Amino acid sequence: MSQDTSTLLYGGHVHANGIRQHYLRYGGAQGQRAGRDAVILIPGITSPAVTWGFVAEHLGREFDTYVLDVRGRGLSSSGPGLDYGLDAQAADVAALAEALGLQRWALVGHSMGARIAVRAARSQPDGLTRLVLVDPPVSGPGRRSYPAALPWYVDSIRQATQGMDAEAMRAFCPTWTDEQRQLRAQWLHTCYEPAIVQSFEDFGRDDIHADLPRIAQPMRLVTAERGDVVRAEDVAEWQGLAPQTQHVRVPQAGHMIPWDNEAGFYAALGDFLGSRVD
């Protein structure tokens, strides 16, 4: 497949864990024929699946890749009456893999998505082979706060709900390209505010460190040089709790690593997923 050919196959829905889950599928048969594990990509707190499309396009050259709309975001189930807690989000991932009939699958989670991946792996779901955890918030009870402010999320969602363009999004994402800002402006309104608020507050209520000793799969912790989300001492604690964890720091990147240094992000993945992606 040439690099000029899109690897996007389709978007789809499954009913799993009691809700409608929307995903985008990239790559497909090529990765299957090579015997590589499928990849489920779990975005962060206000990132619908489509905003990770540029990464999934790249991964789709080597892997059967699925990008999830986490509940309360994008085209997955949303609105009042749903449980937006970490346990429910983690159960969604395992149920998605089962509903898709995946036999062997890896998780790549960014920020909140990394915390979801850790919680999902704690229960040792059938077929899960490895985890890539991208700049996960290491906050929790008695720990330092996540270095971002809730109003940044809420204010941008409310503005997107009223209607905003790429130029208006510049106030929130000044370093992004116009194309990236336009896509975020288009989709941010699908992030259900109460879901975002609960997820943000859960950064301080859920301690994923307690899950780490219960995870047997290999892990690669990919962290940003900037942003102060994961410090050197956090990496040391993580590896003490889960010695199978490999760590790669991506230079010239803040928390949204692929947006800041896309090549560096792929280099950090290397061949950990079973085939080189850089």
Question: Which CATH number fits the domain that encloses residue 69?
Answer: 3.40.50.1820
Residue 10 pLDDT class (50, 70, 90 cuts): very high
- Looking at residue 1, its pLDDT comes to 41
Interval 20-25 mean pLDDT: 98
The verdict on residue 179 lying in a domain is: no
* Distance separating alpha carbons of residues 275 and 121, to the nearest angstrom: 22
Amino acid (one-letter) located at 217: Q
The verdict on residue 117 lying in a domain is: yes
**Is a pLDDT exceeding 60 seen at residue 19?**
yes
**Is a pLDDT exceeding 50 seen at residue 252?**
yes
Structure tokens at 259: 């947006």
Residues 75-118 pLDDT 10s? 999 999 999 999 999 999 999 999 999 999 999 999 999 999 99
Residue 30 φ/ψ region, left for φ over 0, alpha for ψ in the -120 to 50 degree band, beta for the rest = alpha
Reduced to 3 states, what is the DSSP secondary structure of residue 140? Answer: coil
Residues 67-85 pLDDT 10s? 999 999 999 999 999 999 9
Are 178 and 64 contacting, i.e. CB atoms less than 8 angstroms apart? Answer: no
Residues 34-75 pLDDT 10s? 789 999 999 999 999 999 999 999 999 999 999 999 999 999
The verdict on residue 109 lying in a domain is: yes
- Structural domain including 256 reads 8-144+207-269
The verdict on residue 65 lying in a domain is: yes
**Is a pLDDT exceeding 60 seen at residue 3?**
no
- Looking at residue 28, its pLDDT comes to 85
The verdict on residue 230 lying in a domain is: yes
Q: Please name every residue paired with 11 in a beta bridge, in sequence order, or none if there are none.
A: 24
The verdict on residue 152 lying in a domain is: no
The verdict on residue 103 lying in a domain is: yes
HSE value, Cβ hemisphere, 13 Å, CA-based, for 96 = 34
E strand or H helix at 212, and its extent? none
The verdict on residue 110 lying in a domain is: yes
* Count of domains for the chain: 1
Exposed/middle/buried for 142, CB within 10 Å: 0-12, 13-18, 19+? exposed
- Looking at residue 2, its pLDDT comes to 43
Instruction: Give me the percent of the chain exceeding a pLDDT of 90.
Output: 95
